[in-house]
Amino acid sequence: MKRLLFLVALIGFVTPAPVGAGENGSKILQNRCAKCHDLTGPAPQTIRKLWERDAPDLFYAGNKFRREWLVEWLQKPVRVRPAGVNYLRTINSAPVRDAEEKDKNYDVLYGAVLRPLKHLSLKPAEAEATADALMDLKAHSDLVAGMQLDRNKKVDLDRGEVLFDKVYGCLSCHQIEPGFGGYTGSELYTAGRRLQPAFMLSYIKRPKNWDPKIWMPNGNVKPDDLQKIVNYLILLSKEDFNAAN
């Protein structure tokens, strides 16, 4: 009898790991993510609130991310926003004098610009569960509802870059390959793998709808160009950026 009890206790003790990982997706979110990430919304409505934000909002994650990317990223997190979620905090308040250009100082980012990210990394089972839980967070479904990517509006990488850099000036803040582009926006060389096309369309069309005080302006992108830019980003994400290194 005693042995049987012991066995039951032992099974009870050993098994929770896989079962727990299965049921725990939302619990992981609540216990480990909610401290920094906003899981309930709404997005910051004033600038002061905006600068209090520690991590990207996740309450519309289900309408934003692609699940495969989430699973991969949660196991091996890398920096998405070169200047951090809150770029004001990362910028050095004492500009460093540039030796070559005597009259110009640049605001610089603290330390090395592309520091590795400090973020929890999850085990595969946990990552799967958490990704599932994140995909259930579907706020703003109305904003992605009418958005349909037209894959016929293709561009090659060169023309896409012209749109991205010269026509709409996105490159000032967003990087299209590691180290090439601005710092205050999120990098976009993995955007095609990271984000759902409908989200990209909707966000570029009017960032304010998703995040009322975000520092990304509405670029007044024409509908045709909007499709092209998103197709370009998807094409771009298929490039191998580590090939050169």
Partner 1 sequence: MRPINLLFAVAALMFIAAPVANAEEAFLNYKSYCMQCHGMHGKGDGVNVPAMNVRPRDHSDNKYMMTRTNTEIFKAIKFGGPAVNKSVKMPAWADTFTDEEITQMVGHIRTLCCEREIIRGVNFK
Residues near partner 1 (CB under 8 A): 47-48, 50-51, 83, 87-88, 91, 93, 95, 104-109, 165-169, 171-173, 175, 180-184, 206, 208, 213, 215, 217-220
Gap between the Cα atoms of 161 and 174, Å rounded: 12
**For partner 1, the closer CB: 151 or 159:** 159
Closest CA to 119 of 8, 20, 35, 25: 35
> What letter represents residue 136's amino acid?
D
Specify the 3-state DSSP secondary structure of 96. Answer: strand
CB-based contacts of 233: which residues, under 8 Å, 6+ apart?
160, 188, 191, 192, 200
Q: How far is the CB of 104 from partner 1 (least distance, A)?
A: 6
Q: How far is the CB of 140 from partner 1 (least distance, A)?
A: 17
**For partner 1, the closer CB: 80 or 131:** 80
**For partner 1, the closer CB: 6 or 215:** 215
Q: Look up residue 97 and give its two tokens.
A: 């004098």
**For partner 1, the closer CB: 35 or 104:** 104
Q: How far is the CB of 241 from partner 1 (least distance, A)?
A: 16
Gap between the Cα atoms of 183 and 185, Å rounded: 6
**For partner 1, the closer CB: 20 or 182:** 182
**For partner 1, the closer CB: 9 or 47:** 47
Kindly list the distances between the CA atom of residue 220 and the CA atoms of 133, 160, 179, 203, 216, in Å, as whole numbers in the listed order: 34, 17, 26, 12, 12
Q: How far is the CB of 73 from partner 1 (least distance, A)?
A: 24
One-letter-per-residue 3-state SS of 176-238: EECCEECCCCCCCCCHHHHECHHHHHHHHHCHHHHCCCCCCCCCCCCHHHHHHHHHHHHHHCC
Q: How far is the CB of 131 from partner 1 (least distance, A)?
A: 31
Q: How far is the CB of 204 from partner 1 (least distance, A)?
A: 12
